[in-house]
Amino acid sequence: MKFGILVNEGPYQHQASDSAYQFVVAALAKGHEIYRVFFYNDGVNNANRLVEPPQDDRNITQQWSKLAADHGIDLVVCVAAALRRGIKEEILAPGFRISGLGQLVEAGIKADRLVVFGD
């Protein structure tokens, strides 16, 4: 099965990003395909490479970057939501790219299922 993923919440305010990440890892382990992960609303904060969590905490941004590098996953950040939150191309973590809502629509069309994490 081919999944599209929508993440609507930031990495440290809500469990949505961690749940989405774990879902993607489990889906890949079962042989499924991830068409795209789209970060929208506060979810765009997952792409900020300037985030520095404490050493004893997980760095979800680095986890997404590594997952994208290891599996060729397309991580797309909504341009409008990102700019509203001060996130520009130069502060994106590796593997993330900025684009428009058309990428979310395309993921919904091309994937067998679009799974939403967060409000």
Q: Which residues are part of the catalytic machinery?
A: 78
d(CA 79, CA 23): 24
d(CA 7, CA 17): 6
E strands present in 25-66: 33-39
CA distance 11 to 51: 10
